[in-house]
Every structure is written in C-alpha cells, then in structure tokens.
Structure 1
Amino acid sequence: MKVKKIFLTLGIITATWEGWAQNLEEAINLLRKFQYQQLNYCYQEFFRIGGLYKSSPYVREADIATTGFALAGLAVAVENKLVSLEKAEKLALETVKTCIKLQRNPSQSYKGFLYHYYIYNDFTESLEHKPGVEVSTIDTALLLSGMITIAEYLNSHGYPELRNQVNKFYSQINWQAFFDDSRGRFHMAWRGNFFGWWDFYSDEILLIAILAQGSPNPQYRVNIRDVLRNIQVKIGNYKGLQYAYSWYGSLFTYLFAHVFVDFKRVGKDMIYNIDWWENTKKAILADIKYCQERGYPEDIWGLSACWSRISPNSDQMEYRGRIGGGVSGAIDEWERIDNDKNGIKPVAPHAVIGSLPFFNELPLLENPAFRFFAKVHNKIVDRSGLLIESLDAGRIGCDGLPKVNS
C-alpha cells in the first residue's frame, strides 16, 4: 500500500505539472500568490524590530541588508494594493529615522556606515550592534539602495518627506573613508580596523561604486572610474559562454546590483565595454549548464551561497559561502568544495527566482527560472510562508524532487 501511495503521489504531481504547464493564467496566479507571501515581510509589524527588519522571523536580530530589500519591496506591495501609500510612508520613515539615529551614534556606526546586524535591547529600548559583527560597505549599500527605491517611489506619488530623510542619511556616508587611494580600492568592512578589499568583479562592487559616485555630499564622493579601473575583471569561457566571472561564482554575486539598477537600459560601460545585464544572463546560463552536466534533476539549478545541512543526516547547519566555485575564478580545488561537500549539493531558490527577469524574451512556461519554481514551489516556503534557504540536489525525495536542506 505504501508503495502504491508513493506512485500515486508521483502521478498526481506529474499530472499537475503537465496540466497547468499549458495554462498561462494559472502559472501567473501561482507566481502572484508566491509574490504576495514574500511581500508580507515588507509591511507586517511581526517582521520588524526597533524600526528595522529582522534577519529571520524567529530571531530578535535586525539585518540592514534585509532591511534594504524590504524597503524596496514596500513599493511593490503598494503597487499590488497590499498596503497603502500612507502606511508605506509611515514604515519607511520609521526605518530611515532609526538608521539616522544609529548613524549619529559613534558606538553604533563608523564614518556613516552601519553594522551588519543589530540586536534590540529591551532594557534600553534601543538597537545595539551585535557583538563581533562588522561595519559593512555592501550591507550599508543594500540598505541605502532600498531607501532610495521607496523614497523615489513615494515622492513620485506626492509624498516627499521620506526623500528628504534619505538624503540626510546618504549625505553622512563617508565613502572616501572606506576608499584606499593608494590602491584605488574599497575596503570591504571595518571592525576596529579595516579589512578585506573589493578587488575582483562582482555585482556588489558595482553597486557600491554607483552609490559612491552619486553621493549628495561632494566631500565624501568617490569617482566611479577610480573604483572600476582598479578591480580585476577577467573574462572566462564556460561551454561557449564568455563572460566576466566573480571570484566564487555564487549566483547572487551577479544579481544584487540588478535588483536596484536597470543595467538593461544602461548598455555597455565605458571602461570595460561590458553589458552587465548580458554578462549576468550568461553567468546564469553557465550555472544551468553546470548543473545539467553534473546530473542535477531536470530544471534544478541555482549555485549560490546559502545555509545548508552539514551532512545528509545532520540537523546542524553551516553557511556555504563558496558554492558556485565550479564556474568561477577560484582555482584551488578546496575552494570549490562547497558545491557538493559531504554529498550535499545545495541550490538556492532565492537566486533562481531572482533570475526570472533575464529570460523575459521567452514565454513564461519556457523560462528556466519559472520551470524551477513550478517544480518546487510547494517545497520552498517555510511555516511562515517565506522562502527557505536551500534544497539539496544530491538527495531526491519520493516525489522526484530535491529534499529541503534548511
């Protein structure tokens, strides 16, 4: 009986896939339902703490990068009539004013940049940076990008106050302080001392460079040409796909700046003559090919840094930051181990779904990112309705799909 139930379940899944794959309206509704689930994070008070957004629904810790993405999501939530303009403004103003307060406190910021994580202190009723964490250039850049997105959106609808507050925050970020003129490179972070360099191409340094160039404070501004001339931009070839690759090859390193900047309209840059939209698309295609050639289930791909089980039978988690090394500049074999360490092959749903716009020329049902989503949509949300960290393409369940890995 048990075996029959398994085959019956597989039959239902197959029939469902083949049935609605021919129904565009149902496919769009499926995506819309998922979008609405994720947008909950942007406007529900449960996901906020001390004016910022939690790094996870289940902790009392705020993450400034998450906050940036959530602020941008507020604009999408308003467009979808999930929240009013007035409420979006109220939430965003609270967040930006909280960030300005942190920025003005020298124990909670450095040179206008914020710490990556903050913990809410119930006794003082205020946010304090998490012990041991860094003041981060990329996470402050993501926060600022989200601020600008929602501020410009609200301003275009007759709500200018947020734009004024964001300008105050932006004006106090001292990009020059984190830029080493002798090397022509940005430091990654500060924790008592500067450490790390943005010395190799990724979407992250593109975003930092754009924001540093656009600073409303001329004293703190950094010329984008000085930044981009001094990073390594190397062109690789993977199965006929030529593109500038990031060091560890994680898919998110090709996507972050594209969330906020429409590179498709920008065209080729003036320094490297690279169309960054097309470059990211080629990196995505390389990811798909890599997974196909290594026996991942059909339509399953998405090599990007994520949390993963340490081993198949363990409940202990680890962060695998070097997933994607097989299609990257990492030349040492040990730097590629995260792709299939201990028999686990993590794939990150967020990176795949974030790739949807790069195949808009295809019918939705042929879009490789949508085909991934269509197969696993019932497995990639947790009990709160939010996206999980990863699936394991190395362990296949009785449904023929990767098992949940986080």
Structure 2
Amino acid sequence: MTVVNQNTDGTVLKDANGLHERFSHEQIYLMTAERRIKVDRDYHSLENSVFALKYGNLKISDFADHKVQKGLWLESLIQEYIRFEEIGKKHPVLQAKGFKQRKVSLGVKCLKFLLPILKSVVVERWSEANGGKEVSYKLPSPRHFRRLHDVYIESNCDPLALVSLKTGPKSRTLCHPDDLKLWLEYSCLYADRKRPSMRECYLSLVARIDEVNEERSGTGQRLHHKPSRKCFEKLIKEMGAYYLMAKRHGEEYARRKYAIVHGGLMIERPGQIVEMDEWKVNLAVLLTHLRVWQLLSEKEREAVSRARVWLTVAIDRATKCILAMHFSRHALLSVFARGPGNGCLRQDTNFVGRRRWRSLGIRAHTGNDFYGCWCRVHQQRLPRGRRSAPLHAGVSAKRKASSARNDRILLPDL
C-alpha cells in the first residue's frame, strides 16, 4: 500500500487495486507494534525502484547458500572499509601498515593498498566466528569494489544487492523444486489430445499460482514464483516431439512415426547394435521430474541442488531399452576411444555378457570409432566356451551416414 495523504487526523493509503482506505494514527501504531505492517521508507525513490526492478520479490534466502555467503562476505569487506574511512589514516591498522595516502578514499591507488588489508581483517574475523575455518574469496578489483560499494549504499545497505544474479552453466537456477513441480505439471497439459496452445497452458498455470499464493499468504508459507512465458515455453519444447506424439496419439503411433530404423539397417536380435549418447543435465530438475526429490534428505538435496552433470546412456536399438547409465563431471564420449575404462561401457559389457549377446557395432553421436575398442572389451567378458573368432574392425569397417548430424554407424567386415 502507498501513502496518499497524511495529516493530524490520520493516513490515507492506496492498495494495489487503487482503492483508498483511511487509518488513524492509533491503528497504524497498533499494526506496527503487532508486526502486521512493515514500513518501507523511500520506496518510490529512484535507487529503490532500480533495486526492486532488479530483484523483484526475491529474498536473500531464495538464493543458493554459496551465493549468500559470498554476498555477506563482501558486505563485511565494505563495512570494514567504511570503518577505515570514518577513522581515517589514524586507524591503528593503517598506521602499523605504513599508510601514506592523504586520506582513505575509493581511489584506485588507495584501494590497491587497502583491499589486501581489509581482506586479512575480514578473514580473521570470519575464522573466529566459524570455529577456525577460513572463509575467503578472491578480492574484487578496485573499480569493481567501488561499484559494489555504491550499489550497497544505494540499496540502503541491503546485502541482497551484493548477491550475484549470474545464471551461467555453473550456477543454480532460482526456481524452487516445489515451483518446478507445479510448472512441469502444467507444461504437460500441452500434450493433451485437445491440443491447447502454449498460451492457454501458461495462463492456467498463472491462475493456479495466484490461487495457491492467496491460500498460503494467510498461513505464512513460502509463495510460489511465476515463470516467465519464455521459460515456460522452453519447458514444453524440451519434452520433445516423441513424447508429444505418444501422449496425444498413443505409444504405438509415436513408435511408428519416430522409429530409429526406417529399413536402412535390418535389426535381427537384441544387442546387435548399441547406441550411446550424452547430455548435460540438472540433477534437481531430473529428480523432481522423476518424483524422487521428495524422498531425499536435506543433506542429499543440498548436495544435488546445484549439480549439473554429464549423463551418458547406452541404448539397445532393437528393444529401445537402456542398458547402462553413467553420471560424470565431464563429457566421456570423446575419450571412449582411448580405452574401455569408462563406467558406462563397463556396465554395458557386463549386461551384454550376462545375456550372452554379441554386439556387432556401437554408434555414438560424436562419430568416434568405438568398434575395435568395443569388440576387445566384449570378447574379454564372454565365457571361454562362447568366444567367437577375432573380428576385423576399424579400417575395413563399413560406414553409413545416419541422421542429419552425419553420425556414423560402424559395422564389422566379417
């Protein structure tokens, strides 16, 4: 609510719908004492407007722990500088370090001298507060420190202004698992037989969030965040055309329409050809989608909340079954040709060996020559009485182009 008029009789406030309501000074005092009202001074000033536009309704608790910790560490650094600035060059630490500048300022030369001193003071103070554990970060440059100082002062000394909004590959998205679960539920409505538009699904989600937030606001629970329309449409597009066809027309229709083999290669038995592919996935999103997130403990959620890992999968072409799945920090298909020491490849050969299968080839989206490596590993896994003759691979392999990405399928020349 915004103050419209204030005099000796009371205060007139305007709500979000533009309606005016009058309150006496006694009512305002009682609501403040009971903590039913919070006063944001200078809310419509230029500085606060820019701050609200940047962070919206986000609180510092909505961010990842490592971002919050770094923001608070930078706040301690700035507060220590403010203390040095108030005392000036008579500060005992500056006198001990031989400070020779005319005054403490945000100049480049002064900050180059001050920043290492400020860091040592802050690190020592944080270590004492954390039981001797050292908490330290890379110092910002003098220019960046001056920018952080100005932003912190303009935001009325709110540490939220120092929290990074970076959302790159190594940072966690701002969506909460509960929000993501609700978003995925309504993104799946797009695959309905009635063929609703993305706009209809998005408006249904927004209406549902407004309804749930209205119920939660009275109980003090965390309110759901609304995704942008671009973010919501991205969730829909990531479902894939096969999933869309399977939901709208049935699994059999989708299999016929998007079959991997269209007569080019005749598959006679399971295990004849194995395909391998890899993706970089967000574990929190994957576990939420698989309905596993609610089963994890708090420590397990904290461990996987920011993790983005490479998922490598081996798939049997005949049965469309996943033979092996491996999580790792790095892309592994590029190093498969060096040797059979990868976990996914070991899982695959173990499975094939137990089924007494003999694979004739392996295909990966990178197009690497895996055939010789695969046969060597597989023949080591077969029982002695069932080992076949050595297969000639590599140079004499027949190569066939498949898919628009020029993926290569390698078959042996027996």
Identify the TM-score tier after normalising by the shorter chain: under 0.3
Q: Which has the higher contact order (CA 8 A, sep 6+)?
A: 1
> Is the radius of gyration larger for structure 1 or structure 2?
2
